[in-house]
Structure 1
Amino acid sequence: MKQTWRWFGPKDQVSIDDMLQAGVQGVVTALHHIPTGTVWTEQEIAARQAVLAHMEDGTPSNLAWDVVESLPVSEDIKKQQGDWRAHIDAYRQSMRHLAAAGIKVICYNFMPVLDWTRTSLTHRLPSGATCMRFDLTDFAAFDLHILQRPGAAEEYDAALCEAAARRYAAMSGAERDALAGNVVFGLPGAAEKFTLEDVRAHLAEYAAMSEDTLRAHLIDFLSEVVPLAEELGLRLCCHPDDPPFALLGLPRIMSSEEQYVKIMQAVDSPANGITLCSGSLGARPDNDLPGMMARLGDRVHFLHLRNVTRETSDVRGSFYEAEHLGGDTDMVALVEAVLKEEARRKASGRADWSIPFRPDHGQDILDDLNRRAQPGYPSIGRLKGLAELRGVIAALEPRIGL
């Protein structure tokens, strides 16, 4: 399991020196400043690689850009409208440039409108640490009373609507603004940020789209890019929905094992793969993460290892981001399933037998509380998670023979 670290570029509060001191073996990054739908040029890719290659004092870092996260898919592609064909052409050209630069793994997602959703970015825990949280009542308050989405009340039961009304009434103006900002925060590090009006406009355009239609659009997209990925030796891997259940009346198509299987079968290629995110998928109680790794592992090209604590047993419910070994996902069993898949790959001669992973997210602890890094991406909290995962890997590897 190759240990990588997500880095948001030169403006990231976590430096290249910090990554080296954490002992990571590779970097996950993206050209976040380039607008979605435009080409990542060879020059921009090379510039990012050059920055990664050196510590602050000019000493070689020996760190390489191993995984792209994300090469974003535009809303036009998801909706098949506007400039969607030009955006696919740009995507394909970016793939060519990334392959020429030696980068082989590209993570993306196909979530409509909101790439991930939390109601709090700094939920305080009893220890004093903070973490990201999704509170269903707060989200319903946003949907019903801030966004005022038509038909929203039909998607919540009466008790939740009443609780949301009470929650909203008790909020100050600043708290309402903060909730709205958190929900529409958008893709980490992205150049674009949505306003409430942007969200309303996108929702109107998605209003008549079914899950089957959105899935068909993903299959059409993959039919255009996967053959090129095969030709270039790239591995594409789709990130799951976060959270993995319906929100704002939008279709969700990558929330469960069944949904992943449909996409893998529809475009049946080793280049059409999975980013197995244990935190996103783990927010849903009917997702069996170790089992998914065992059954779908030959198509898992990238791993996000994090944990969540679910606050209800419902498929759609509140949760918060737990310590890496402390939530509802059996992380030891999941890592064991990953190592077994690596052993199978190694025995069969696969060049990609070592699967890159990163300690995903982390609680803000110690100096993280003052550093104000990208939400969900503190330095010490992630290092703590990485250290815990290293311990699990070190304990299991000898048993599996890696």
Structure 2
Amino acid sequence: MRQTWRWFGPKDLTSIDDIMQAGAAGVVSALHHVPNGAVWTPEDIARRHEEIATRKDGSASGLTWDVVESLPVSEDVKKQKGDWREHIENYKISMRHLAESGLETICYNFMPVLDWTRTDLRWEVAHGGSCMRFDINDFAAFDIHILKRPGAPVDYSNVIADEAARRFEAMSEDEKKQLSRNVTMGLPGSTESMTLEDVQAHLDEYGAISRDRLRAHFVTFLEEVVPVAEKLGLRLCCHPDDPPFALLGLPRVMSTEEDYRYMLDAVDSPANGMTLCSGSLGVRPDNDLPGMMERLGSKVHFLHLRNVKRGSDDIVGSFHEAEHLGGDTDMVALIAAILTEERRRKQAGRKDWEIPMRPDHGQDILDDLGRRSQPGYPTIGRMKGLAELRGVITALEHAQFGLPAR
């Protein structure tokens, strides 16, 4: 696996020098300042390449921009409204500019409205550090009593609805505002934040869009961009829903293995692939992560390795982001499946045999606690995660005790 690190640009509290010291070989980044649907210009792309390649003192970092995360798909495209056709054409132009700069892998997602959802961005864990958490009862309190979405109460069991009402009544006004900010945080690094009115406006427009219709819109998008990506030598990889179940009455189309099979088969191309995120997919107890890697591995173009601890075995439930080797996903078995797939690719002569991986998210520990970095993206917590993952990889590849040499 090629070990990479997500970087949000010059304003990121983790510097290029820090990434070098963490031991990553490449960088995952994006142009977060560009509005969704607009063209990424060659000049902006070149500037990001240069920023990644340069240390604080002006010397060469040796790091390269390996993966784009994300080239966003606009809400207009997902809903097929407004300027959606223009946005798809802009997407194609941006892909060409990225390919011309030497990039080959583009991660994106097709989640409606919010790119990820948590109720607590800095939940304290037993050792005193903090992590991101999704609490289904707090989310129901937001949905039913703060957002006041029509029809929200029927989406929850009586037990959850009752507990949500109790929690809402106990919240101060500041706590209600904080919960709203947490839920609507969206994508880290994005310039597009949403008010409650913005969220409700999107929900109103999605009201007529069923899961099957959103799937159809996704296929339309893929039919447009995948042939272009294939000609350009690009690999597109869709990130799963986060969390991987329906929220706010919105349809979800990338939450399970069956979802991925549908989209990969709908537009069958080497350029149409998946981002296997063990954290997002691992929230569902019915998602078999090592098995998914074994069965869909040939289409996995990018890896997010993180772990979650579920609060129950319910499909829709609470969870928090655990240490990389400490959650409900068997990370050792998953990494073994990844290494097996890489070995298969290398033997087949695929040039993309080495799959880029990044330690996704991390718990805030030590000095992270005072830095207030992007939620989920602490420097030390991610470095700890990368070290743990690197240790598993090294052990599994050991000449005496590990898997056969690649």
Q: Shorter-chain-normalised TM-score: which range?
A: over 0.9
For each residue in 1:165-211, what CA deviation from the matched residue of structure 2 results, as whole angstroms up to 9, or x when unmatched?
00000011111000000000011101110110000000000012111
- Residue 144 of structure 1 and its aligned partner are, at CA, apart by 0.3
Distance, in Å, in 2 between the alignment partners of 1:245 and 1:53 is 39
Distance, in Å, in 1 between the alignment partners of 2:15 and 2:326 is 27
- Taking the TM superposition and a 5 Å limit, the aligned residue runs for 1:9-20 are 9-20=9-20
- Residue 89 of structure 1 and its aligned partner are, at CA, apart by 0.6
Partner of 1:178: 178
Gaps of 5+ in 1: none
Runs of 4+ in 1 over 2 A off after TM superposition: none
- The aligned amino acid for 1:248 is L
- The aligned amino acid for 2:253 is I
- Taking the TM superposition and a 5 Å limit, the aligned residue runs for 1:5-44 are 5-44=5-44
Distance, in Å, in 1 between the alignment partners of 2:248 and 2:287 is 22
Distance, in Å, in 1 between the alignment partners of 2:54 and 2:276 is 30
Partner of 2:373: 373
SS of the aligned residue for 1:77 comes to helix
For each residue in 1:203-253, what CA deviation from the matched residue of structure 2 results, as whole angstroms up to 9, or x when unmatched?
000012111100000000000000000000000000000000010000000
Determine if the alignment matches structure 1 residue 273 to structure 2 residue 277: no
Distance, in Å, in 1 between the alignment partners of 2:182 and 2:384 is 25
SS of the aligned residue for 1:400 comes to coil
- Taking the TM superposition and a 5 Å limit, the aligned residue runs for 1:151-190 are 151-190=151-190
Partner of 1:228: 228
Distance, in Å, in 2 between the alignment partners of 1:75 and 1:271 is 23
- Residue 371 of structure 1 and its aligned partner are, at CA, apart by 0.8
Partner of 2:201: 201
- The aligned amino acid for 1:389 is L
Mean alpha-carbon deviation: is it higher for 390-399 or for 338-347? Answer: 390-399
- The aligned amino acid for 1:277 is C
- Taking the TM superposition and a 5 Å limit, the aligned residue runs for 1:3-402 are 3-398=3-398, 399-402=403-406
- The aligned amino acid for 1:15 is S
Distance, in Å, in 2 between the alignment partners of 1:253 and 1:239 is 11
TM-score (norm 1): 1.00
- The aligned amino acid for 1:254 is M
Distance, in Å, in 2 between the alignment partners of 1:52 and 1:246 is 37
For each residue in 1:231-281, what CA deviation from the matched residue of structure 2 results, as whole angstroms up to 9, or x when unmatched?
000000000000000100000000000010000000001100000000000
- Residue 15 of structure 1 and its aligned partner are, at CA, apart by 0.2
SS of the aligned residue for 1:82 comes to coil
Distance, in Å, in 2 between the alignment partners of 1:85 and 1:9 is 29
- Residue 127 of structure 1 and its aligned partner are, at CA, apart by 0.6
Q: Given that residues 339 and 400 in structure 1 are in contact (C-alpha distance below 8 angstroms), is that contact kept between their aligned partners in structure 2?
A: no
- Residue 158 of structure 1 and its aligned partner are, at CA, apart by 1.3
Distance, in Å, in 1 between the alignment partners of 2:371 and 2:188 is 17
- The aligned amino acid for 1:10 is P
Distance, in Å, in 1 between the alignment partners of 2:30 and 2:23 is 21
Distance, in Å, in 2 between the alignment partners of 1:257 and 1:373 is 33
- Residue 397 of structure 1 and its aligned partner are, at CA, apart by 1.6
TM-score (norm 2): 0.99
Q: Given that residues 342 and 353 in structure 1 are in contact (C-alpha distance below 8 angstroms), is that contact kept between their aligned partners in structure 2?
A: yes
For each residue in 1:43-95, what CA deviation from the matched residue of structure 2 results, as whole angstroms up to 9, or x when unmatched?
00001111111100011001110000000000000000000000001000000
Distance, in Å, in 2 between the alignment partners of 1:191 and 1:40 is 15
- Amino-acid identity (%): 68
Distance, in Å, in 1 between the alignment partners of 2:273 and 2:147 is 35
Q: Given that residues 3 and 357 in structure 1 are in contact (C-alpha distance below 8 angstroms), is that contact kept between their aligned partners in structure 2?
A: yes
- Residue 366 of structure 1 and its aligned partner are, at CA, apart by 0.1
Distance, in Å, in 2 between the alignment partners of 1:249 and 1:312 is 22
Distance, in Å, in 2 between the alignment partners of 1:160 and 1:360 is 30
- Residue 400 of structure 1 and its aligned partner are, at CA, apart by 3.1
Distance, in Å, in 2 between the alignment partners of 1:305 and 1:400 is 23
SS of the aligned residue for 2:397 comes to helix
- The aligned amino acid for 1:25 is A
- The aligned amino acid for 2:177 is D
- The aligned amino acid for 1:279 is G
Distance, in Å, in 1 between the alignment partners of 2:329 and 2:267 is 29
Mean alpha-carbon deviation: is it higher for 45-54 or for 289-298? Answer: 45-54
SS of the aligned residue for 1:102 comes to coil
- The CA RMSD over aligned residues, in Å, is 0.5
Distance, in Å, in 2 between the alignment partners of 1:294 and 1:313 is 23
- Residue 323 of structure 1 and its aligned partner are, at CA, apart by 0.1
- Residue 160 of structure 1 and its aligned partner are, at CA, apart by 1.1
SS of the aligned residue for 1:369 comes to helix
For each residue in 1:113-142, what CA deviation from the matched residue of structure 2 results, as whole angstroms up to 9, or x when unmatched?
010000000000111010000000000000
Q: Given that residues 340 and 400 in structure 1 are in contact (C-alpha distance below 8 angstroms), is that contact kept between their aligned partners in structure 2?
A: no
Distance, in Å, in 1 between the alignment partners of 2:102 and 2:132 is 34
Give the count of matched residue pairs: 402
Gaps of 5+ in 2: none
- The aligned amino acid for 2:198 is D
Q: Given that residues 279 and 308 in structure 1 are in contact (C-alpha distance below 8 angstroms), is that contact kept between their aligned partners in structure 2?
A: yes
SS of the aligned residue for 1:133 comes to strand
For each residue in 1:263-300, what CA deviation from the matched residue of structure 2 results, as whole angstroms up to 9, or x when unmatched?
00000011000000000000000000000000000000
- The aligned amino acid for 2:254 is M
Distance, in Å, in 2 between the alignment partners of 1:354 and 1:156 is 43
